[in-house]
Chains A and B, each alone.
Chain A
Amino acid sequence: MELNSRVPAGPLEKKWDRHRFEMKLVNPANKRKYTIIMVGSGLGGGAAAATMGELGYNVKCFCFQDSPRRAHSIAAQGGINAAKNYQNDGDSIYRLFYDTVKGGDFRSREANVYRLAEISVNIIDQCVAQGVPFAREYGGLLANRSFGGAQVSRTFYARGQTGQQLLLGAYQALERQVAAGTVTMYPRTEMLDVVIIDGKARGIVTRDLVTGKIESHVADAVVLGTGGYANVFYLSTNAKGSNATAIWRAYKRGAAFANPCYTQIHPTCIPVSGEYQSKLTLMSESLRNDGRVWVPKAKGDKRAPGAIPEDERDYYLARKYPSFGNLAPRDIASRGAKEVCDEGRGVGPSGLGVYLDFADAIKRLGEGVIRERYGNLFEMYQRITDEDPYKVPMRIYPAAHYTMGGLWVDYNLMSTIAGLHVIGEANFSDHGANRLGASALMQGLADGYFVIPNTISDYLASAKPAKVDTSHQAFKDAEAQVAERTRQFLSIDGKRTVDSFHRELGKIMWEYCGMARNEAGLRKALELIPQLREEFWRDVNVPGSDVELNQALEKAGRVADFFELAELMCKDALHRRESCGGHFREESQTPDGEALRDDEHFAYVAAWEYAGDAKEPILNKEPLVFENVKLSQRSYK
């Protein structure tokens, strides 16, 4: 497999401009003759569908939720980065670029990241024009706050609901296009396969989640914006429905899957309370601006937090990383929490928790200011735990949150399948081995509003896809395969529920492919996963039929794909014998326990190619070339 990143020549800061000039255009009158399928309606998909509709393309947009407004982008709390330098604190496009490359532990592609930093500025302008109610200062200017991994205040926010407001902006633009007839929306519809004809992505096969009807949709290009795969861990901060099926089906049709082992474990989530737990709730990282993270100095100290005197507390982030303190990047903060809990200094009933304490901030700023900044987060915390964080410190623990890995894409966001494009969290491109806070929203919107609408024109104008329709054999074959798989699920008639398998898979992944990984553990996981998968296909119980709304059937398909993806994640984690960002191999650390990269052997993107169910996937490498940034040991001390 050839991996051509198609990064334009020329100096970093000229690449995107030059590329936009060099790309081919589709004449405005011809755009409506092209059909583009957009799978997913979150920040990436919603923005892309709306923008491509505005440009005049004929867009079909699919989502499994009942409305595009419910995509999981909506749950992002803290904010969106942009290199506006409104605060005059030394920010610039280059600094945002540099911070993102460094934050990603030098495992991302320079040119893509620079473009992201450049576009960040336009995103804020666009969102304000749409009416996104960002936080303001009394003078009417936009307010900013700082976020983990950065020493400047470049994060724009709308209370603790930034993702919601940005998504509603994109959703409103999308609904405007639906009403105008340029976009057709297919809610409660799940993509179950992508169809390739003459080497090009020409459509998808879907299941109507209400009637069960399996249908083909033809197009000139397909874009996936279906989010990440953190639900492979079962317990994660993702929505219950978030899944990897679209990207996994594409992988099995020939799209390379890049860096599957790069997963982000978010440091500030509410700890697990019991076996029935169905998901984990994130407490925005912005809380670390004013909250101080600590545990007791002594092991097994079970006193109430208020009874532990100051000199018996260990503010371990501030102690270990004096220059970033509580704002150390996510991977580092998460490992810090795991370390102190492994030492037996964790707090709460399970011992898997650390304190996030606002007492000082409340004393310094007053409860009113804290309420203004984080009111809704404090409320959410109280609702879940029945504890009042204005009075007692929050308890937090890391949880699976985001996946930096995803389908491999070139500079145009096209996968290794011609015509199949991938945007947002579903691709691998911008965050390297660790994503900085407030950068996911930025990437989703950059890809959706500003990158894909340009690069897709270039593809359509150059590829000139021939006319096909759904009577083509490739569609019939894909439909038959989807129907057969559905029939299989329903006919197993076993004893165990889909959720019980998913929960068990999640435990294996969390234990062996979670915050810290080692050779023996990964090998163990690679034994356990196929065993459990085999049991799943023998003993899963999927009730109901395929011609109705059947939520168990939906879950079964997603979990079956998670099983296969989990194995690929472990293989990738095993082969990468270095630590970088969210991927921490215990065998590769500095004397003081920090992640130790091995640039000589691993400065590449691992792009895995499907070779058949019974065969080992093929590892392809895209070397990472750094022309502008000097690789260094990442330090936040």
Chain B
Amino acid sequence: MNLKLRVWRQADARAAGKMVEYDAPDVSPDMSFLEMLDVVNERLTEDGQDPIAFDHDCREGICGSCSLMINGTAHGPMKGTATCQLHMRSFKDGDLINVEPWRAKAFPVIRDLVVDRSAFDRIIGAGGYITAATGGAQDANSLLIPKVDADASMDAAACIGCGACVAACPNASASLFTAAKVSHLGHLPQGQPERYRRVLSMVSQMELEDFGGCTLYGECQEACPKEISIDNISTMNRDYIMAGVGS
């Protein structure tokens, strides 16, 4: 099939950006979206133009590098799918596809479709861990964790840190990302000693990073490639209130 792309081009963080139109002829429906961009880039290079910069790495939906806004939807039209796992069979001949970077104040554009998501690392550094320095931990089976708790923890821990939740949110809030970590650790007995301290410092870091507040639009869970539930935000909010009451 033959497609037209309109892609955001921006030389660097300070430059002004604009949408530029490209042809993408002879696209196979079995290609992934990124493979389609590879082919476009090969041709741009051969024609002496600068290829389109975009973040990608594992191309199997787990590293969280890829981050494209496709026709206004984070990661494109297929639910529960990261851009790298989106295949061209989701499109049809003659389609015009708009490709943009994540848009959020906390995620400044570095070049073209590449943005800076280091704010996420700082949110984790603020408290998204269990303090357990490497050493003589107790035997793993001395801690019984009911399967339901382990499963709920794993559901939240599946977050790949891609930032689609932020990009999809009209407030550019990082609540789902932060809540997923609060909930992953909060469902486990190991996570209890730091439970309230964790939520306070992570939320305060999130606010420092220029993310917006959550007003429960729910766009984040719709965009999440791992389908992480917005219920985690309720968990986070409850813990946040409890932490306030306790202190």
> Shortest beta-carbon distance, A546 to chain B, in Å?
14
* A residues near B75, Cβ cutoff 8 Å: none
**Known contacts A66-B65, A122-B137, A386 near B87 by CB under 8 Å:** yes
Measured between alpha carbons, how far is A211 from B133 in the docked complex, in Å? 35
Q: Mark B89-132, 1 if CB is under 8 A from A, else 0.
A: 10000000000000000000011001011101110111011111
Q: Are B128 and A172 in touch, CB under 8 angstroms?
A: yes
Interface membership of A129, Cβ < 8 A: yes
Q: Are A70 and B63 in touch, CB under 8 angstroms?
A: yes
Closest to B54 in A: A551
Q: Are A281 and B60 in touch, CB under 8 angstroms?
A: yes
Q: Are A240 and B118 in touch, CB under 8 angstroms?
A: no
> Shortest beta-carbon distance, B33 to chain A, in Å?
11
* A residues near B114, Cβ cutoff 8 Å: 549
Q: Are A543 and B57 in touch, CB under 8 angstroms?
A: no
Q: Are B140 and A210 in touch, CB under 8 angstroms?
A: no
Stretch among B38-46, B164-172, B208-216, B237-245 lining the A interface: B38-46
Measured between alpha carbons, how far is A497 from B41 in the docked complex, in Å? 10
Measured between alpha carbons, how far is A97 from B48 in the docked complex, in Å? 55
Closest to B115 in A: A66
**Known contacts A175-B129, A497-B42, A274 near B85 by CB under 8 Å:** no
**Known contacts A70-B65, A72-B63, A549-B111, A129 near B58 by CB under 8 Å:** no
Interface membership of A116, Cβ < 8 A: no
Q: Are A54 and B87 in touch, CB under 8 angstroms?
A: no
Measured between alpha carbons, how far is A140 from B137 in the docked complex, in Å? 18
* B residues near A179, Cβ cutoff 8 Å: 122, 125-126
Q: Are B46 and A495 in touch, CB under 8 angstroms?
A: yes
Measured between alpha carbons, how far is A51 from B132 in the docked complex, in Å? 10
> Shortest beta-carbon distance, B228 to chain A, in Å?
13
**Known contacts A67-B118, A129-B190, A178-B125, A544 near B46 by CB under 8 Å:** no
Number of interface residues of A (CB under 8 A): 81
Measured between alpha carbons, how far is A402 from B74 in the docked complex, in Å? 32
Measured between alpha carbons, how far is A605 from B245 in the docked complex, in Å? 63
Within 8 A of A (CB), among B30-53: 30-32, 34-36, 38-39, 42, 45-46, 48-51, 53
CB-contact partner of B141 in A141, A175, A176, A449, under 8 A: A141
Measured between alpha carbons, how far is A209 from B111 in the docked complex, in Å? 11
CB-contact partner of A67 in B30, B117, B147, under 8 A: B117
Interface membership of A125, Cβ < 8 A: yes
Q: Are A72 and B57 in touch, CB under 8 angstroms?
A: yes
Q: Are A274 and B28 in touch, CB under 8 angstroms?
A: yes
Measured between alpha carbons, how far is A497 from B62 in the docked complex, in Å? 28
Looking at chain B, what size class is its interface with the partner chain?
A: 35 or more
Q: Are B129 and A136 in touch, CB under 8 angstroms?
A: no
Interface membership of B247, Cβ < 8 A: no
> Shortest beta-carbon distance, A132 to chain B, in Å?
8
Q: Are B48 and A543 in touch, CB under 8 angstroms?
A: yes
Q: Mark A378-393, 1 if CB is under 8 A from B, else 0.
A: 0110011010000000
Interface membership of B61, Cβ < 8 A: yes
Q: Mark A527-562, 1 if CB is under 8 A from B, else 0.
A: 000000000000001011000110110000000000
CB-contact partner of B57 in A86, A185, A210, A240, under 8 A: A240
Q: Are A133 and B62 in touch, CB under 8 angstroms?
A: no
> Shortest beta-carbon distance, B203 to chain A, in Å?
15
**Known contacts A70-B64, A495-B46, A278 near B145 by CB under 8 Å:** no
Q: Are B46 and A541 in touch, CB under 8 angstroms?
A: yes
Within 8 A of A (CB), among B154-199: 154, 157-158, 160-161, 184-185, 187-188, 190-191
* A residues near B126, Cβ cutoff 8 Å: 179
Within 8 A of B (CB), among A406-462: 449-450, 453
Interface membership of B20, Cβ < 8 A: no
Q: Are B45 and A130 in touch, CB under 8 angstroms?
A: no
Measured between alpha carbons, how far is A158 from B117 in the docked complex, in Å? 26
Stretch among A160-168, A194-202, A248-256 lining the B interface: A160-168
* A residues near B42, Cβ cutoff 8 Å: 497, 499-500
Measured between alpha carbons, how far is A129 from B134 in the docked complex, in Å? 9
> Shortest beta-carbon distance, B63 to chain A, in Å?
4
Q: Are B60 and A129 in touch, CB under 8 angstroms?
A: no
Interface membership of B73, Cβ < 8 A: no
User: Which of A72, A274, A278 has most B Cβ within 10 Å?
Assistant: A278
* A residues near B60, Cβ cutoff 8 Å: 75, 279, 281-282, 380
* B residues near A173, Cβ cutoff 8 Å: 129, 132-134
* B residues near A70, Cβ cutoff 8 Å: 57-58, 63-65, 161
Q: Are B190 and A130 in touch, CB under 8 angstroms?
A: yes
Interface membership of A128, Cβ < 8 A: yes
Interface membership of B23, Cβ < 8 A: no
Measured between alpha carbons, how far is A128 from B32 in the docked complex, in Å? 36
* A residues near B153, Cβ cutoff 8 Å: 131, 133
Q: Are B48 and A131 in touch, CB under 8 angstroms?
A: no
Q: Are B59 and A239 in touch, CB under 8 angstroms?
A: yes
> Shortest beta-carbon distance, B145 to chain A, in Å?
5
Within 8 A of A (CB), among B16-31: 28, 30-31
Q: Are A129 and B118 in touch, CB under 8 angstroms?
A: no
Closest to B65 in A: A70
Interface membership of B11, Cβ < 8 A: yes
> Shortest beta-carbon distance, B167 to chain A, in Å?
15
Q: Are A239 and B63 in touch, CB under 8 angstroms?
A: yes
Q: Are A65 and B65 in touch, CB under 8 angstroms?
A: yes
Interface membership of A171, Cβ < 8 A: yes
**Known contacts A70-B64, A72-B58, A131 near B184 by CB under 8 Å:** yes
Closest to B51 in A: A552
Measured between alpha carbons, how far is A379 from B133 in the docked complex, in Å? 36
* B residues near A239, Cβ cutoff 8 Å: 57-59, 63
* A residues near B38, Cβ cutoff 8 Å: 276, 278, 499
Interface membership of A84, Cβ < 8 A: yes
Interface membership of A21, Cβ < 8 A: no
Q: Are A178 and B121 in touch, CB under 8 angstroms?
A: yes
**Known contacts A140-B146, A551-B51, A128 near B190 by CB under 8 Å:** yes
Q: Are A137 and B124 in touch, CB under 8 angstroms?
A: no
Q: Are B125 and A175 in touch, CB under 8 angstroms?
A: yes
Interface membership of A142, Cβ < 8 A: yes
Interface membership of A135, Cβ < 8 A: yes
Interface membership of A69, Cβ < 8 A: yes
* A residues near B129, Cβ cutoff 8 Å: 130-131, 172-173, 175-176
Q: Are B130 and A140 in touch, CB under 8 angstroms?
A: no
> Shortest beta-carbon distance, B231 to chain A, in Å?
17
Q: Are B28 and A129 in touch, CB under 8 angstroms?
A: no
Interface membership of B1, Cβ < 8 A: no
Q: Are B12 and A276 in touch, CB under 8 angstroms?
A: no
CB-contact partner of A131 in B141, B144, B185, under 8 A: B185
Q: Are B150 and A134 in touch, CB under 8 angstroms?
A: yes
Taking A69-B121, A127-B140, A276-B28 as known contacts, 7 extra A-B pairs with beta carbons closer than 8 A to each other, sorted by chain A number, are A125-B136, A125-B137, A141-B144, A158-B154, A274-B31, A453-B134, A549-B110
A-B residue pairs in contact (CB < 8 Å), sample of 9: A51-B133, A133-B184, A133-B187, A141-B141, A171-B124, A210-B111, A274-B30, A380-B60, A552-B45
The list of the 10 closest CB pairs from A to B, nearest first, reads A140-B144, A172-B129, A179-B125, A129-B137, A175-B125, A125-B137, A129-B132, A136-B150, A128-B140, A133-B154
A residues with CB within 8 A of B: 47, 50-51, 54, 65-70, 72, 74-75, 84, 86, 122, 124-131, 133-142, 158-159, 161, 163-165, 168, 171-173, 175-176, 178-179, 185, 187, 210, 239-241, 273-274, 276-279, 281-282, 379-380, 383-384, 386, 449-450, 453, 495, 497, 499-500, 541, 543-544, 548-549, 551-552
B residues with CB within 8 A of A: 11-12, 28, 30-32, 34-36, 38-39, 42, 45-46, 48-51, 53, 55-65, 78, 80-81, 85, 87, 89, 110-111, 114, 116-118, 120-122, 124-126, 128-141, 143-147, 150-151, 153-154, 157-158, 160-161, 184-185, 187-188, 190-191
